Amino acid sequence: MTSEHAPRVAMLSVHTSPLDQPGTGDAGGMNVYVLELSKALAARGARVEIFTRATSSDLPETVVVPGTDAHGRTLTRDESRAVLLADDVDAGIVPPVLVHHVPAGPFERLDKNDLPGVLCGMAAGVLRSEAARRPGWYDVVHSHYWLSGQVGQIAADRWEVPLVHTSHTLARVKNASLAPGDEPEPGGRVLGEEEVVAAADALVASTPVEARELVDLYGADPSRVHVVEPGVDLDRFAPVPDADRRAAREALGLPADRGVVLFAGRVQALKAPDVLVRALGVLRATGRPVPLLVVLGGPSGRSTAVRELQALAAVTGVADDVVVRPPADRDSLVRWYHAADVVAMPSRSESFGLVAAEAQASGVPVVAAAVGGLRTIVDDGVSGRLVRGHDPAVWADVLADVLADEAVRSAYGEAARRSAERFGWSAAADQVLKVYGVAAEARRSR
């Protein structure tokens, strides 16, 4: 990476597109992370191109996320092209971000366990992109998730540029906290993660906990591990007056006089929404008020996951207390946060927990499992509650306590916003740019 221009970044998100709707399939917080980080890097003059696997023949080859000129005007297609091809970007210009859909394997959503078989095709497609430009076009490869890291190794070696990698989740961590009956991550993934960790010039961890896991479980060189907390869109996710919260409930068809617990995420064993359903069953069996549980998400891993959750609610006696809604776009998600009394995250493993950060930024208390990055986001007893383990009886007690005390919820909500204000995509982009520089030095020294 040279000092003459802002970096040109090849951002790899192989198994899921940052343009996909979070909350279903394999789309989640990582999708938001990749797109928002890319936009924040562009705001600092970087030219960012995201490569993801094409899952439909109807997808355009390239999608342009528009940039702006020095006056905030959206760039035209010709202006975007000129900015992307220029050696330098004029002050005040925010370059566009490109999302390339690379054909690799069949045009369908393959299971993640099948994706290693198409990585050669993915790598070839990424390399062809640089072949259409001048040599030395990209300055750094930044891969996300181990599948992207496999492709990233090839691209970084071919282009002789540093490889920066963000894991997002780690197989050994997930396998240590599996839900009963859940399938462990395959050994091939563990081997693949080990290869990427060894090859990367820099590793970006979202929390100190994840940084320790990379060192302790994967033998990462501590000098190559850098903690960069992800950001939150603090303008979009912000508190509102009580009148607006009541209006949000009315608009969403939620009861005004009943506690509302929101779960926003993929319906899968890892995210553990079943714990919340069972907790509602405990509350009903013990004669305590039962809140309405809103599950905002779609199936992941198994197409029957939502139906299985609804069946669990029926046999637990709380079918009428559980409402499942499809995943919401970013603007709609804000309204759901505002309508909730509590956002619950009973995940068995979380490298960060973007939903918790967004909810807190919106002034909503979070009740979360005391795992992974959630321990960094939620300040127990201050901005929300951390629950050890996944015993439904314990979750029932904590939810009942928080829902019963409006003054406590209000205090948690105010503290939650203050806590969330330390997260911002601008700060994350500044730190990532520094990591790119350190990675370039590491590459040269190697």
108 labelled ligand-binding: no
189 labelled ligand-binding: yes
428 labelled ligand-binding: no
157 Cβ contact list (under 8 Å, min separation 6): none
327 labelled ligand-binding: no
Whose CA is closest to 102, among 50, 137, 67, 33? 50
Q: What backbone torsions phi and psi does residue 323 show, to the nearest 5 degrees?
A: -120, 125
365 labelled ligand-binding: no
346 labelled ligand-binding: no
Whose CA is closest to 120, among 274, 196, 14? 14
Q: What backbone torsions phi and psi does residue 273 show, to the nearest 5 degrees?
A: -65, -20
Amino acid occupying residue 198: A
331 labelled ligand-binding: no
310 labelled ligand-binding: no
42 labelled ligand-binding: no
175 labelled ligand-binding: no
174 labelled ligand-binding: no
Partner residues linked to 385 by β-bridges: 367
28 labelled ligand-binding: yes
22 labelled ligand-binding: yes
- Asked whether the beta carbons of 268 and 346 are under 8 A apart, the reply is no
Greatest Cα pair distance, the chain, in angstroms, is: 70
Partner residues linked to 182 by β-bridges: none
193 Cβ contact list (under 8 Å, min separation 6): 146, 149, 167, 170, 171, 172, 218
- Asked whether the beta carbons of 193 and 146 are under 8 A apart, the reply is yes
The owner of tokens 């669990």 is: 312
436 labelled ligand-binding: no
Q: Pairing mode, if any, of strands 163-166 and 292-296?
A: unpaired
345 labelled ligand-binding: no
Q: What span, in angstroms and rounded, lies between the C-alpha atoms of 125 and 129? A: 7
169 labelled ligand-binding: yes
Q: What span, in angstroms and rounded, lies between the C-alpha atoms of 65 and 19? A: 10
The token pair that represents 64 in the structure block: 């342009």
266 labelled ligand-binding: yes
113 labelled ligand-binding: no
Q: What backbone torsions phi and psi does residue 216 show, to the nearest 5 degrees?
A: -75, -40
Q: What span, in angstroms and rounded, lies between the C-alpha atoms of 321 and 338? A: 19
33 labelled ligand-binding: no
21 labelled ligand-binding: yes
Return binding residues: 15, 21-22, 26-31, 112, 145, 169, 189, 266, 271, 337-338, 340, 350, 358
Q: Binding site for 1D-myo-inositol 3-phosphate: what residues are annotated?
A: 15, 26-31, 112, 145, 169, 189
Binding-site residues for Mg(2+): 337-338, 340
Where is the binding site for UDP-N-acetyl-alpha-D-glucosamine, in residues?
21-22, 29, 266, 271, 350, 358
